[in-house]
């Protein structure tokens, strides 16, 4: 029997059960971002050849038909294709900026069953695990700016994100954060990443969007990119 203090990690995350107390709209520079931790805009213009979007996303199904509530909350369907919520935001950023995309994946395939994934996520967090990744970015030195995207799991970054941050050298780069959640917004992750990547410039104006608001994601992401001082376009 699980502890009575334990809540569903996806209820508080980017792919969650319904009925969260705080539904949460899209937030820019959410109030749990550390004040004064970094600039809110990018000083240098985005160059699509020098910009990378790296994201971690775990859609709980690939089948757009007859989804369970858990599967629906972890995904967004576009033209019949099932995308993870964070994956969808990454694709919007890609469309606007023309940047290259890198998907963060674990070496061991993650379970798609909700309860099993939930248990594994908590076990990894309680053990401060660093799950092995399938691959690292092979040419990180080619990029000046890296968008980093993730869901919120158990009030924190998924543990594979810690592996990702610690096994790459982001020194001297601009880091721009985006996340998806089920009511817990950024949950202190901007501060965590700023402390972890102390040799890089983490833009404090991070973006996060509730799973309930994915239909508005394209407009919200566009407004956020403009707020960063970038009117980037792939054209």
Q: What share of the chain has pLDDT > 70, as a percent?
A: 80
In the predicted model, is pLDDT for residue 54 greater than 80?
yes
Contact indicator for 181, 13 with CB cutoff of 8 Å: yes
- Specify if 204 maps to a domain: yes
- Specify if 15 maps to a domain: no
- Can you tell me whether residue 145 is helix, strand or coil? strand
Mean pLDDT of 38-57: 92
CATH number at residue 87: 3.40.50.360
Give me the DSSP letters along 214-232: GGGHHHHHHHHHHHTT---
User: pLDDT averaged over the chain?
Assistant: 82
Count of domains observed in the chain: 1
- Specify if 144 maps to a domain: yes
In the predicted model, is pLDDT for residue 232 greater than 70?
no
CA 57 to the chain's CA centroid: 7
- Specify if 140 maps to a domain: yes
Residue that wins the pLDDT comparison between 181 and 11:
181
Mean pLDDT of 113-130: 95
- Specify if 234 maps to a domain: no
Q: What is the DSSP letter of 181?
A: E
pLDDT for 179 equals: 95
pLDDT for 37 equals: 67
pLDDT for 69 equals: 72
- Specify if 155 maps to a domain: yes
- Rounded to whole angstroms, how far apart are CA atoms 147 and 101? 9
Contact indicator for 28, 207 with CB cutoff of 8 Å: yes
Orientation of helix 114-126 relative to helix 159-166, angle to 10°: 50
- Specify if 235 maps to a domain: no
End-to-end CA gap in the chain = 54
Mean pLDDT of 20-44: 52
Find the domain containing 86 and state its range.
27-227
pLDDT for 96 equals: 94
| Least reliable range by pLDDT among 67-71, 93-97, 113-117, 211-215 | 67-71
In degrees to the nearest 10, what's the CA dihedral of 165, 168, 169, 174? -50
In the predicted model, is pLDDT for residue 130 greater than 60?
yes
- Specify if 233 maps to a domain: no
- Rounded to whole angstroms, how far apart are CA atoms 137 and 115? 30
In the predicted model, is pLDDT for residue 29 greater than 80?
no
pLDDT for 13 equals: 40
């Amino acid at each position: 029997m699980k502890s009575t203090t334990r809540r569903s990690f996806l209820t508080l995350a980017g792919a969650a059960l319904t009925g969260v107390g705080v539904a949460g709209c899209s937030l820019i520079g959410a109030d749990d971002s550390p004040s004064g931790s970094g600039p809110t805009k990018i000083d240098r213009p985005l160059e699509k050849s020098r910009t990378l979007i790296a994201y971690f996303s775990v859609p709980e199904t690939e089948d757009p038909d007859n989804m369970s509530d858990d599967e629906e909350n972890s995904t967004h369907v576009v033209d019949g294709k099932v995308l993870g919520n964070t994956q969808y935001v990454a694709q919007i950023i890609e469309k606007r900026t023309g940047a290259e995309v890198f998907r963060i994946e674990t070496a061991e395939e993650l379970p798609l069953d909700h309860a099993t994934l939930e248990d594994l996520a908590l076990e990894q967090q309680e053990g401060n695990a660093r799950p092995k990744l399938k691959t690292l970015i092979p040419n990180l030195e080619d990029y000046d700016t890296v968008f980093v995207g993730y869901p919120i799991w158990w009030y924190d970054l998924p543990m594979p994100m810690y592996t990702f941050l610690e096994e790459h050298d982001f020194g001297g780069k601009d880091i721009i954060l985006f996340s998806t959640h089920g009511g817990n917004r950024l949950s202190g992750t901007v501060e965590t990443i700023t402390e972890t990547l102390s040799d890089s410039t983490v833009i404090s104006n991070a973006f996060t969007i509730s799973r309930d608001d994915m239909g508005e994601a394209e407009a919200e992401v566009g407004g956020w990119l403009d707020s960063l001082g970038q009117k980037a376009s792939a054209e």
